[in-house]
Structures are given as C-alpha cells and as structure tokens.
C-alpha cells in the first residue's frame, strides 16, 4: 500500500514522555513531535509514586496538538512505556490508587522473602527473567505480605502502558512484551507462571491472558475525541508496549554480529534470539529474556544508565546550578581521563539521593581519587557506563558464542557524541547511533503492520533505514581503556563479593 497514513505514538520514559505523529508514505517514515513533557516519581512521605493522571493530561495535550496540525484523524494510536510497574482497577474499572514507582522502598528485602517460599532457581528457570528487586513479582509480594487491602479489592492489574491504553480505549489488557518484564510470565507455557504465583499468594485472577503486539483494540472513546477536538474515531493498537521492545524493533540493519544498546534512564544491552535462553550460565550472569515485537526474545542485561547523571543534574539544580547536557559534555571532555570509576549498578546509586555526594563516597571508599568538579563527576559517570557496556558485551559473546562487531545505540544517549565515542573506544567496536526516537518509531511501525501497511518488522526496519540518518563512530586506539577496564572489573568483583556477603549474613 502506498497511501500516506498518520499514526500517533505515545512514548513514555521514566524521565520524560512524548506524543509523536508518525507519517508513513508507503516508503519512508517521518516523525513529528507533538508534545514533550518531563516525567518522574512523586515523593509522598516515605513512598514514591507515579503521577499517572498528570501523565494522562499530557497525553491529552498531545492529542489536541495533533488536531491543530493535521486535518484528518490518524489511523491508530499506541502506547509504549517502561516495564515492571502497574496500577490496579476495581470491579467498576476505577483506578484504586496511584501506582508505586519501581524505586519505592517497599520491595527492600522482599526478594529474599520470596525465595524462602519458592527457590530463586525455580523462578529463574520458569520465567527466564533475572531477579531485580524492582520487578512486578516483588512489588506484588510486598502487598501480599502487608495484607494490602488494595490487592484484595483489585480486579485487574494493568501495566503502565496498558493503563493508558485502557484510558484511551476502555480495553483491559496486558500486552505480551510488558508481561515478560514482570518475572511472572512463563515463555515456555506462553502463560503466567500460575503455580508459582499461587504458592506466593499472588492472585492470578487479576492477570488476563497477554495480548500480542499488533492487535487492533477498541476505538478511542468518544468523550476523549470531543475533548481533543478530533472529528472521526480511530482504533487503539496494542504495540510492543515495553519501550525497549519497540525501540529494538526500530533499529535498522540488526544482524547476527550486532548488539543493541537502548540508552536512557536505564541501559539495556542485548541480542535477538528466536527462543529464550534460560541456561544456568545466562541467569548467573544476570541476563534476562524479554519478549520482542515479532515473537522473538531479547536476551539482555538491565543496567543503571543515565539515571546517575540525571540525578546529578537534579542535585546541582537544587544547589542553584542548572547544567544542560551540552554543558556537562563540554566539562567532561575538558578533564583528564580515567581519574576514578564507579560501578553504575552498585547499590549506592539506585535510589534518589545526592548523587554527586554518593559518587564521591564510593570513590573514597574504594581508595580512588575523589572527583570534585562537575566535569570530573560527569566524566567518571560517562567512562564508567562505557566500561559497563564492555563488561556486558564480553558476557554476551561468551554465552552466545558470537563475535559482535557493531553496537547499535538508540534512545537519548545516542545523541551524545562524547558518550558514543567513549563506548566505541572502551569496547573497541564500531558504534552506530540512531534513531533517537526509536521507541516512538517502533510504536508506529507496529501500528502500520497492524493496519496492513507493512508486512512485518523486517520490512519496517528496512523502511526506517531509508527514513533516518544514523551516525557512525569508529574506535580510536588507546591503551588507557584496557587499564581502566581492569580497574573496573575489580570494582565489579568487589561489589559482587559485598552483595554475596550481605545475602549470607541475611
């Protein structure tokens, strides 16, 4: 089909959200930003929540902006967002409470309590998902343990993107790629790990059978159309609603010798497989299996990403200095390399805090020079992230038996040329950056497939390759990276030893 068609993509990240218009002319995609807005957790007392009604109001603004720019209604709208978090609806379809943020402390110590009832190895083998304290499994078990009345009153669990899909359409679904982020879904059974959940007291009645990407749902509800000034109805489409799955679907030239790196608040590095890999080696190394847009599986590692720098920027702003990313990059580029390093996944950096102070304490405790200036702290973070990617790349090559020549970066981090070059140098691999708005592009791609305008993800990637301009970074030889990597690996090992000792003591 060659007729030009418009789609709306709602692409929600943990730090910002955007509503994008995607235009497909039969050969290429063109993306136009309708509305962008900041996002983040809201602290109330000791707990951290998502302001989902605030996000919803921003989505409505984006739809109103669409009406102001295009005379015709779109052919569809889809929502993608982060994983693991959820809201609960009562039997009347009302949201029971503000959804908790994955960084809320309610899951502290919960994994160990779960494993006392169901062994971790059984959970890993059943779900193929790496244990992270933030996972939906542990959030729900924290509610079981607390006898939380919300869980008793809940009739339907809605993952975050599915909650907004419900606000748009009235359909109560859980989309498949989101389901695979929960550590509650069994890829082998193509269903929830119901026996395990029953043993933990987690009610499976709130979990519908997951909906596949590309499913056309109900039309946008009439009242919303009226409020946003849209004349004609159009369907909501279940896309690959986990933003990583949407982003990977939009990467052109993915091949057997390529790894993807989604760089944002979180960093996710991995490869595409036709079947999940739940081998003991894979799970020991901390990899997880998440659903792909086209029925594939993404074998990937979740890492702390630009969150550390975002938190530094937030802290500096409270102290009266508001640094742009360009300013941070310039300051980082002007200081001496490899002065100090951190492990971005260390426990010290996971919760909201005075991040510059946390970095200084970590360096002091690990007998390294303590970074003092903004440039030194930013450089420490950028170099440490680059070395983390090298560590994960080594592990990926080990478990897959492949040799990877290219790292394909998407997301906000791919706009930063200093970081892209650091990654190329640290990993000694060619880096290809782009598309920046991969999540929104993948969202639109899945909608176009659902409406019959594209055959499959492969053809969509080819079209995206003709639609966007990517940048290439070749590695520069520098022996300093090898020495820094040896230091970084020691920091990782020390962190693993501390975590093991803490678990044993517990």
Segment among 1-5, 68-72, 137-141, 235-239 with least mean pLDDT:
1-5
Does residue 382 belong to any structural domain of this protein? Answer: no
Mean pLDDT of 293-318: 95
Task: Give the pair of three-digit tokens for residue 339.
Answer: 């002065």
Q: Does residue 253 register a pLDDT over 60?
A: yes
CA 31 to chain centre: 21
Residue after which a domain boundary falls, among 207, 242, 277: 242
SS3 78: strand
Say if residue 136 is in the same domain as residue 278. no
Say if residue 285 is in the same domain as residue 427. yes
Mean pLDDT of 363-374: 97
Helix (H) or strand (E) holding 66: helix 52-69
CB 102 within 8 A of CB 159: no
Does residue 371 belong to any structural domain of this protein? Answer: no
Closest residue by Cα to residue 207 from 238, 176, 252? 176
Higher pLDDT, 495 or 226: 226
- Measured in Å, how far apart are the chain's first and last C-alpha atoms? 61
Please report the pLDDT score of residue 501 as a whole number: 56
Say if residue 288 is in the same domain as residue 233. no
Residues in the chain: 506
Domain with 122 in it: what CATH number?
3.30.420.40
Does residue 488 belong to any structural domain of this protein? Answer: no
Q: Does residue 283 register a pLDDT over 90?
A: no
Does residue 499 belong to any structural domain of this protein? Answer: no
Cα(86)–Cα(331) distance, integer angstroms: 39
Above pLDDT 70, what percent of the chain? 97
Say if residue 260 is in the same domain as residue 215. no
Catalytic residue among 243, 294, 343, 425: 243
Say if residue 295 is in the same domain as residue 194. no
Does residue 117 belong to any structural domain of this protein? Answer: yes
Say if residue 232 is in the same domain as residue 249. no
Say if residue 21 is in the same domain as residue 107. yes
Residue after which a domain boundary falls, among 192, 226, 242: 242
Residue after which a domain boundary falls, among 191, 221, 242: 242
Q: Does residue 505 register a pLDDT over 60?
A: no
Does residue 334 belong to any structural domain of this protein? Answer: no
Q: Which domain holds residue 84?
A: 5-242
Please report the pLDDT score of residue 2 as a whole number: 47
Say if residue 266 is in the same domain as residue 197. no
Known catalytic residue: 11?
Answer: no
pTM more than 0.85: yes
Q: Does residue 351 register a pLDDT over 90?
A: no
Q: Does residue 316 register a pLDDT over 90?
A: yes
Closest residue by Cα to residue 188 from 270, 291, 257, 119? 291
CB 60 within 8 A of CB 66: no
**pLDDT tens figures, 48-89:** 999 999 999 999 999 999 999 998 999 999 999 999 999 999
Buried b (16+ CB within 10 A) or exposed e, 483-493: ebbeebeebee
Q: Does residue 1 register a pLDDT over 50?
A: no
Closest residue by Cα to residue 30 from 50, 9, 11? 9
Burial class from Cβ neighbours inside 10 Å (0-12, 13-18, 19+) for residue 40 reads middle
Closest residue by Cα to residue 70 from 142, 10, 22? 22
Say if residue 87 is in the same domain as residue 117. yes
Does residue 216 belong to any structural domain of this protein? Answer: yes
DSSP-assigned letter for residue 83? S
Say if residue 168 is in the same domain as residue 276. no
**pLDDT tens figures, 6-50:** 999 999 999 999 999 999 999 999 999 999 999 999 999 999 999
State the Rg of the chain over Cα: 22
Mean pLDDT of 174-188: 97
Closest residue by Cα to residue 318 from 360, 367, 352? 352
Does residue 310 belong to any structural domain of this protein? Answer: no
**pLDDT tens figures, 105-136:** 999 999 999 999 999 999 999 999 999 999 99
CA angle 279, 262, 423 (to 5 degrees): 95
Mean pLDDT of 169-179: 98
Cα(340)–Cα(369) distance, integer angstroms: 6
Say if residue 216 is in the same domain as residue 185. yes
Please report the pLDDT score of residue 412 as a whole number: 85
Q: Does residue 500 register a pLDDT over 60?
A: no
Say if residue 146 is in the same domain as residue 290. no
Cα(139)–Cα(200) distance, integer angstroms: 12
The pLDDT-based confidence of 502 (bands split at 50, 70, 90) is low
Residue 33 to residues 19, 224, 225, 239, 306, Cα–Cα distance (Å): 6, 20, 20, 19, 22
Domain count, the chain: 2
């Amino acid at each position: 089909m060659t007729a030009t068609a418009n789609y709306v993509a709602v692409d929600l990240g943990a730090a910002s959200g955007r509503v994008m218009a995607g235009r497909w002319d039969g050969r290429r995609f063109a993306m136009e930003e309708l509305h962008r807005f900041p996002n983040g957790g809201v602290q109330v007392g000791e707990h951290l929540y998502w302001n989902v009604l605030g996000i919803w109001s921003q989505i409505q603004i984006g739809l109103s902006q669409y009406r102001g720019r295009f005379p015709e209604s779109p052919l569809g709208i889809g929502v993608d967002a982060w994983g693991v978090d959820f809201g609960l609806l009562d039997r009347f379809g009302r949201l029971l409470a503000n959804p908790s943020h994955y960084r809320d402390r309610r899951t502290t110590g919960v994994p160990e309590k779960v494993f006392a009832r169901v062994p971790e190895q059984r959970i890993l083998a059943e779900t193929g998902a790496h244990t992270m304290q933030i996972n939906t499994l542990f959030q729900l078990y924290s509610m079981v343990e607390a006898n939380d009345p919300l869980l008793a009153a809940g009739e339907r669990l809605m993952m975050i993107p599915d909650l907004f899909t419900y606000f748009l359409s009235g359909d109560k679904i859980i989309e498949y790629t989101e389901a695979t982020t929960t550590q509650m879904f069994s890829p082998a059974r193509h269903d929830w790990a119901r026996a395990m959940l029953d043993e933990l007291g987690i009610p499976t009645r709130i979990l519908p059978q997951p909906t596949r990407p590309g499913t056309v749902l109900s039309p946008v509800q009439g009242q919303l159309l009226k409020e946003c000034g849209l004349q004609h109805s159009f369907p909501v489409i279940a896309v690959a609603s986990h933003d990583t799955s949407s982003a990977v679907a939009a990467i052109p030239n993915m091949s057997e010798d390529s790894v993807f790196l989604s760089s944002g608040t979180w960093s996710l590095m991995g490869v595409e497989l036709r079947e999940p890999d739940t081998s003991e080696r894979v799970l020991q190394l901390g990899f997880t299996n998440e659903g792909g847009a086209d029925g594939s599986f993404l074998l990937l590692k979740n890492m702390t990403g630009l969150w550390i720098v975002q938190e530094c920027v937030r802290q500096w702003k409270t102290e009266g200095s508001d640094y742009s990313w360009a300013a941070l990059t310039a300051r980082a580029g002007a200081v001496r390399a490899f002065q100090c390093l951190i492990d971005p996944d260390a426990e010290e950096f996971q919760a909201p805090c005075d991040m510059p102070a946390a970095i200084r304490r970590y360096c002091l405790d690990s007998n390294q020079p303590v970074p003092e200036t903004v440039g030194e702290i930013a450089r420490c973070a950028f170099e440490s992230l680059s070395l983390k990617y090298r560590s994960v790349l080594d592990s990926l090559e080990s478990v897959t038996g492949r040799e990877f020549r290219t790292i394909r970066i998407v997301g906000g981090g791919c706009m930063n040329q200093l970081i892209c070059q650091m990654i190329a140098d640290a990993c000694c691999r060619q880096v290809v950056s782009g598309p920046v708005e991969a999540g929104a592009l993948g969202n639109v791609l899945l909608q176009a497939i659902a409406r019959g305008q594209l055959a499959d993800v492969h053809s969509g990637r080819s079209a995206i390759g003709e639609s966007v301009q990517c940048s290439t970074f070749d590695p520069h030889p520098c022996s300093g990276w090898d020495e820094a990597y040896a230091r970084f690996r020691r920091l990782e090992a020390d962190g693993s030893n501390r975590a093991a000792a803490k678990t044993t003591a517990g």
